[in-house]
Amino acid sequence: MISLDFNFNILTRDLSHYLENQVKVGLFGSGVGLSLVLGFSAAYTCYYLVSVAKKPQLISGGKKFYQFLREQCPVVSETYYPTFWCWESRIQTLLRPFVTAKPGVVYRNELIKAADGGQISLDWFDNDDSFSHPDPATRPMVLLLPGLTGTSRESYILHMVQQSRDLGYRCVVFNNRGVSGEMLLTPRTYCAANTEDLETVIDHIQRANEAAPIMAAGVSMGGMMLANYLGRKGRETCLKGVVVFSAGWDVFECTASLEKPLDRFLFNSYLTSCLQASVHRHRPVLEKCYDIDHVMKAKTIREFDERFTSIMFGYPTNDDYYHDASPVHRLKSVQVPMLCLNAADDVFSPSHAIPVEAVKQNPNLALLITCHGGHIGFLEGLWPRQSTYMDRVFKQFAKAVIEQGGGLADLS
């Protein structure tokens, strides 16, 4: 303790000496400069602790699920401390792909056939070195669904694979058609409303691993697809539990938010170009059925969906597609424990469209809302390289579902 105190005093003295010599204000000399720096730092710290760092809001439709989460997932009750130098939503969203590490993961790829003759790419992490679950026949499995243009190589997916590996579980990533390097065999891609490919994938992995418990995690559009799947299937699914991150619950509200000038500049135009790039890669197959030149002139996601997605999946209008793609309309039918994490400052899923009241009506649902975190951000720590708040929620909930799942029986 003496050594620690001594080192701290030396550090404080050296820091003060540096500031006195480097911070020059000129009005009253370096003392005023030092006072301003220390005063600003103190004010910023107070603001951060009072207005930024807050406990998340946990909402559930039933006391049993609520209590289960409080007991098995302590992260839901802990204060979330966003990275103090980048807690603003857009900065969190933009920086996460660059500041978070990408764990090394070696996948085993599998291509499976779809009913229409297309192919679906699955990336497996088998975790054959699992100490806690050495038997591959019973090794728990986590199905992961990336976002709108994401693949198994996204940092947030790699982090969930890493967390699953630490728990001893196997992972499989469902890549949407045409995004992970495989060829399109039919003129069809994907959308949040259509869950046929997801149903095919879940049936496939269940048949291959009949004795293993299966849970799923979806991010952004992947979470929307999972929620829509559960709403359609009710109890007719093998999934033991689901966790959804940064889902857009009402597509009308999500697209309207992303069409505001700043968010259109930062996010909408970029995502539209990513969608168009995927269409361009598969142009020889797609141009037989769709006006690709018209699609390539779209400036926003809404225009892209009007010219491509809604037409591909047979909707009379784009509004019909957006209504069908919005998970908020199916939450009442979900019969599997589903935890949803959203940030109140997420411009992709605005706070007024988070389905708080719908969640309160279904005992199988729980909603965790942080004040900050952006879209798939949730950065925390001084330098958020290794883990995020979202990663911790995933790991604790996955472990709870797989190992304490009995506590989730009969939530109604």
229/270 same-domain check: no
Q: Is 135 a catalytic residue?
A: no
269/382 same-domain check: no
Q: What is the mean pLDDT of residues 123-131?
A: 95
3-class DSSP string for the chain? CHHHHHHHHHHHHHHHHHHHHHCCCCCCCHHHHHHHHHHHHHHHHHHHHHHHCECCEEEECCHHHHHHHHHHCHHHHCCECECCCCCCHHHHHHHHHHHCCCCCCCCEEEEEECCCCCEEEEEEECCCCCCCCCCCCCCCEEEEECCCCCCCCCHHHHHHHHHHHHHCCEEEEEECCCCCCCCCCCCCCCCCCCCHHHHHHHHHHHHHCCCCCEEEEEECHHHHHHHHHHHHHCCCCCEEEEEEECCCCCHHHHHHHHCCHHHHHHHHHHHHHHHHHHHHHCHHHHCCCCCHHHHCCCCCHHHHHHHHHHHHCCCCCHHHHHHHHCHHHCHHHCCCCEEEEEECCCCCCCHHHCCHHHHHCCCCEEEEEECCCCCCCCCECCCCCCCCHHHHHHHHHHHHHHHCHHHHCCCC
| Residue 22 maps to a domain | no
Range of the domain at 62: 57-249+333-408
Number of domains in the chain: 2
Is 60 exceeded by the pLDDT of residue 27?
A: no
What pLDDT, on the 0 to 100 scale, is given for residue 212?
96
pLDDT digits (tens, 9 = 90+) for 225-241: 999 999 999 999 999 99
Domain of residue 165, CATH code? 3.40.50.1820
What pLDDT, on the 0 to 100 scale, is given for residue 4?
38
185/280 same-domain check: no
| Residue 164 maps to a domain | yes
192/83 same-domain check: yes
Q: Please tell me the least confidently modeled range out of 9-18, 140-149, 254-263.
A: 9-18
Q: Is 220 a catalytic residue?
A: yes
pLDDT band, very low/low/confident/very high, at 106 (cuts 50, 70, 90): very high
Catalytic residue among 220, 310, 349, 387: 220
pLDDT digits (tens, 9 = 90+) for 180-209: 999 999 999 999 999 999 999 999 999 999
What pLDDT, on the 0 to 100 scale, is given for residue 385?
82
Catalytic residue among 197, 345, 346, 391: 346
97/199 same-domain check: yes
175/68 same-domain check: yes
Share of the chain above pLDDT 70, in %: 92
281/352 same-domain check: no
pLDDT digits (tens, 9 = 90+) for 57-93: 999 999 999 999 999 999 999 999 999 898 899 999 9
Share of the chain above pLDDT 90, in %: 82
* Domain end residue (candidates: 278, 294, 325): 325
pLDDT band, very low/low/confident/very high, at 44 (cuts 50, 70, 90): confident
pLDDT band, very low/low/confident/very high, at 31 (cuts 50, 70, 90): low
240/337 same-domain check: yes
| Residue 79 maps to a domain | yes
| Residue 4 maps to a domain | no
316/233 same-domain check: no
241/256 same-domain check: no
123/269 same-domain check: no
Q: What is the mean pLDDT of residues 253-278?
A: 97
| Residue 340 maps to a domain | yes
| Residue 149 maps to a domain | yes
What pLDDT, on the 0 to 100 scale, is given for residue 125?
97
Is 90 exceeded by the pLDDT of residue 387?
A: no
261/373 same-domain check: no
Q: Is 204 a catalytic residue?
A: no
